[in-house]
C-alpha cells in the first residue's frame, strides 16, 4: 500500500510539473538516451520531453518528439515512469525503492523531539479512531453474515491471489480510465522483445500478419515494412483514440518498432481471432438466416461506434473507415464480427471543428468504392461524405454475407462484389464504368426474397446503394432496423417453441 501511494504521488507530481511545462514555449531539449531502439546519438537525444522508465528490471532513457502527457502518468504496480523538461534532467533518475530501484535523494536529517511528540500524538489519535472503526465494521459484518447465511452467491476476484495476471487482465487494468484502447505508450515501446512470433497467417500490400505469443496467450502482430511507416503511424494514432474500445472494433494492444535482419520493422499488436477475416470465413462456411442477421448486425454496431462522436470529459471524435470490406472485418468465436484496419480512417470533431484526413498516400479498395469516389465528385471537406462511402461498402459486405446464407437448402459459392462484371483485379476505369456510367449493382438471388429476414436485409442493401450519397441510410438507421429484426426473430422463435 505504501509503495503504491508513493508511486501515485510521484505520478501526480510528474503530471502537475509537466502541465506547468506545457505553458512554456515549445523547444527541444537535450536528454540522456539509453535504449535498444537505435534512437540514441552518443548517449543523448533531443525532443520536447525527457523520460525515464523502469519495468521488469529494465531501465530506459530517451526523449519524446511529441508532447503527449498521458504517457507520463501510470500507477500500475511494477512500472515507474518519470518525465521532465530540462537538459539532461533524466540522466541520474532511478526508480523509487518501492518499485525496485535505488533512492535518488539524500537521507533526511534526524527529526527533533518536538516532531516526535507531534507524531506520537497524531498516531495515538489515528490509532484510537481506527480501532473504533474496526470494531464497528466487525459488528456490522457479523450481522450481515447472519442475515445472509443461506446465500451461496459469491463474487469472483478480477485477478486471483498468488497467480500472475494474464495480458487480458493487464489490458483491462490499463483501460479502466478510458484513455485509449491500448497499453500506455511507454509500455507499448517494450512489446517487441516480449512477443514470440509463431507463424505468418496473412499477407497484404502493407506487410504481413503473424500469430504471436505474449504472456502465454495468442496475439496478432501486424508487421509493416519501413516504407509503410505512414500507414503504421496513422493506424496506431487512431487505435489510441479515447473511448474507441468496443466489442465490434478490433481490440488494440500496442504498437512498437524493432530491428530484424538489419531492417526496421513496425509492429501493431492486437487481439488474435483464430477464425480469420470475414472473407476467409465465408470461403468455407455457410450461415443460417438468423446467423446472417446477427453477423450483419455486429458489423453495423461497430460502424455506428466509429461514426459516432462522443462529447464528454474524454471526447471521442467521429471516425469514417474509408476501406470497409470483408478482408478488413474479423470473425470472433461467437460468430460476431469486429472491424479492423483503420489505416485510412478520417477523424472529425464537430465540437472542435476539424477534419483529420491524414497524409497517407494509400487509397481504398477499388471494388468497394462508392460512385462519388470513382467519379471524383466526393466533397472531401465534408465529413458526412466519408461516412456515406462507408455505407455503400457496408451494403456490399452484407451482400457477401447473404450470398453464403442457406435458404430452402440453397446456398451460393462465395464471390466478391461485381464478380460477374469486372475482372479479379479491376482498374479504376473499369469500376467507374460499371458503377457510375452503367449504374450496375450486385445481382440478388431469388431465394433471398422468400425469407423474411433476408428480404429485409436485401431492402437495407438497396438503400445503401443509392447513387445519391445523401439518400443512403445512416449506420445508426441500419443498426436500429437490424436490431428490431433480430428482436422480432427471437420473439417469433420463442412463440413457435411455445406452440410446439
Question: Which of 191, 147, 143, 186 shows the shortest CA–CA distance to 167?
Answer: 191
| Res. 102 pLDDT band, cuts 50 70 90 | very low
- Output the average pLDDT for the chain: 80
Fold (CATH) for 278-488 = Transferase(Phosphotransferase); domain 1 (1.10.510)
The reply to whether domains 2-84 and 278-488 share a CATH topology is: no
Question: Which of 244, 269, 92, 124 shows the shortest CA–CA distance to 175?
Answer: 244
**Do residues 32 and 91 touch, judged by C-beta distance below 8 A?**
yes
How far is residue 308 CA from its own chain's centroid?
Answer: 15
| Res. 103 pLDDT band, cuts 50 70 90 | very low
Supply the DSSP string of 271-316, one letter for each residue. Answer: E--TT-BHHHHHHH--B-HHHHHHHHHHHHHHHHHHH--B-SSS-B
Q: How far apart are the two ends of the chain, measured CA to CA in Å?
A: 60
Rounded CA separation 45/76 (Å): 27
pLDDT in tens, 134-179: 888 877 776 655 454 444 333 222 333 334 444 455 445 444 444 4
**Whole-number pLDDT of residue 366:** 95
**Whole-number pLDDT of residue 161:** 36
Residue 128 pLDDT > 80: yes
Could you tell me how many residues make up the chain? Answer: 500
**Whole-number pLDDT of residue 175:** 46
CB atoms near residue 39 (< 10 Å): 13
**Whole-number pLDDT of residue 450:** 94
Most confident of 129-138, 155-164, 343-352: 343-352
Most confident of 122-126, 350-354, 358-362, 391-395: 391-395
Annotated binding site: 222
pLDDT in tens, 465-481: 999 999 999 999 999 99
User: Per-residue pLDDT averaged across 347-360, rounded?
Assistant: 86
Scanning the structure block, which residue is given the C-alpha cell 516480449?
Answer: 194
Lowest mean pLDDT across 23-32, 125-134, 382-391, 404-413: 23-32
Which H/E stretch holds residue 270? Answer: strand 263-271
Tell me the catalytic residues: 323
pLDDT in tens, 354-393: 899 887 666 789 999 999 999 999 999 999 999 999 999 9
Q: Which CATH architecture has domain 2-84?
A: Ribbon (2.10)
Annotated binding site for ATP: 222
User: Per-residue pLDDT averaged across 82-86, rounded?
Assistant: 86
| Res. 105 pLDDT band, cuts 50 70 90 | very low
- Of all residues in the chain, what percent are helix, strand and coil, respectively (each to 5)? 40, 20, 40
The domain locations on the chain are 2-84, 180-271, 278-488
**Cα 369 to Cα 179, 201, 478, distances in angstroms:** 33, 27, 19
Rounded CA separation 188/190 (Å): 5
**Whole-number pLDDT of residue 283:** 96
SS3 388: helix
**Cα 46 to Cα 73, 91, 254, 356, distances in angstroms:** 21, 13, 24, 27
Confidence (pTM): 0.65
Higher pLDDT, 291 or 354: 291
Supply the DSSP string of 454-486, one letter for each residue. Answer: HHHHHHHHHHHS-SSGGGSPPHHHHHHHHHHHH
User: Per-residue pLDDT averaged across 222-246, rounded?
Assistant: 85
Kindly state which CATH superfamily the domain 180-271 is placed in: Phosphorylase Kinase; domain 1 (3.30.200.20)
Question: Which of 278, 318, 477, 472 shows the shortest CA–CA distance to 391?
Answer: 472
User: Per-residue pLDDT averaged across 286-315, rounded?
Assistant: 94
Amino acid at each position: 500500500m505504501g509503495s503504491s501511494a508513493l508511486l501515485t504521488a510521484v505520478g501526480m507530481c510528474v503530471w502537475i510539473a509537466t502541465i506547468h511545462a506545457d505553458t512554456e514555449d515549445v523547444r527541444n531539449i537535450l536528454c540522456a538516451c539509453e535504449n535498444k531502439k537505435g534512437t540514441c546519438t552518443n548517449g543523448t537525444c533531443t525532443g520536447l520531453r525527457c523520460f525515464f522508465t523502469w519495468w521488469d528490471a529494465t531501465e530506459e532513457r530517451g526523449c519524446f518528439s511529441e508532447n503527449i502527457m498521458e504517457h507520463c502518468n501510470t500507477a500500475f504496480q511494477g512500472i515507474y515512469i518519470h518525465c521532465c523538461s530540462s537538459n539532461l534532467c533524466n540522466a541520474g533518475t532511478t526508480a523509487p525503492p518501492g518499485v525496485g530501484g535505488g533512492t535518488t535523494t539524500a537521507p533526511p536529517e534526524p527529526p527533533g523531539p518536538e516532531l516526535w511528540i507531534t507524531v506520537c500524538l497524531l498516531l495515538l489519535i489515528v490509532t484510537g479512531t481506527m480501532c473504533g472503526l474496526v470494531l464497528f465494521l466487525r459488528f456490522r459484518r457479523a450481522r450481515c453474515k447472519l442475515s445472509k447465511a443461506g446465500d451461496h452467491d459469491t463474487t469472483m476476484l478480477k485477478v486471483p491471489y498468488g497467480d500472475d495476471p494474464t495480458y487480458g487482465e493487464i489490458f483491462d487494468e490499463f483501460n479502466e480510465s478510458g484513455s485509449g484502447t491500448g497499453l500506455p505508450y511507454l509500455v507499448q515501446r517494450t512489446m517487441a522483445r516480449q512477443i514470440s512470433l509463431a507463424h505468418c497467417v496473412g499477407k497484404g500490400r502493407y506487410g504481413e500478419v503473424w500469430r504471436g505469443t505474449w504472456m502465454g496467450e495468442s496475439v496478432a502482430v501486424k508487421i509493416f515494412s519501413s516504407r509503410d511507416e505512414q500507414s503504421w503511424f496513422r493506424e496506431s494514432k487512431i487505435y489510441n483514440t479515447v473511448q474507441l474500445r468496443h466489442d465490434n472494433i478490433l481490440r488494440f494492444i500496442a504498437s512498437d518498432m524493432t530491428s530484424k535482419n538489419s531492417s526496421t520493422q513496425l509492429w501493431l499488436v492486437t487481439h488474435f481471432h483464430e477464425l480469420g477475416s470475414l472473407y476467409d470465413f465465408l470461403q468455407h462456411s455457410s450461415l443460417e438466416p438468423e446467423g446472417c442477421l446477427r453477423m450483419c448486425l455486429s458489423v453495423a454496431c461497430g460502424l455506428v461506434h466509429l461514426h459516432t462522436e462522443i462529447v464528454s470529459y474524454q471526447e471521442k471524435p467521429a471516425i469514417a473507415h474509408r476501406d470497409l470490406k470483408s478482408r478488413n472485418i474479423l470473425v470472433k468465436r461467437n460468430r460476431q464480427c469486429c472491424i479492423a484496419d483503420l489505416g485510412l480512417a478520417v477523424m472529425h470533431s464537430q465540437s472542435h471543428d476539424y477534419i483529420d484526413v491524414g497524409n497517407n498516400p494509400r487509397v481504398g479498395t477499388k471494388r468497394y468504392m462508392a460512385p462519388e469516389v470513382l467519379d471524383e465528385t466526393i466533397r472531401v471537406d465534408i465529413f458526412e461524405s466519408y461516412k456515406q462511402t462507408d455505407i455503400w461498402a457496408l451494403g456490399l459486405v452484407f451482400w457477401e454475407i447473404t450470398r453464403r446464407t442457406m435458404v430452402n437448402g440453397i446456398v451460393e459459392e462465395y464471390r466478391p462484389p461485381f464478380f460477374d462484371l469486372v475482372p479479379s483485379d479491376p482498374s479504376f476505369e473499369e469500376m467507374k464504368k460499371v458503377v457510375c456510367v452503367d449504374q450496375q449493382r450486385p445481382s440478388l438471388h431469388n431465394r433471398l426474397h422468400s425469407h423474411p429476414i433476408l428480404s429485409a436485409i436485401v431492402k437495407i442493401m438497396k438503400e445503401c446503394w443509392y447513387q445519391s450519397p445523401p439518400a443512403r441510410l445512416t449506420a445508426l438507421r441500419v443498426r436500429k432496423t437490424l436490431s428490431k429484426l433480430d428482436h422480432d426473430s427471437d420473439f417469433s422463435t420463442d412463440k413457435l417453441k411455445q406452440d410446439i
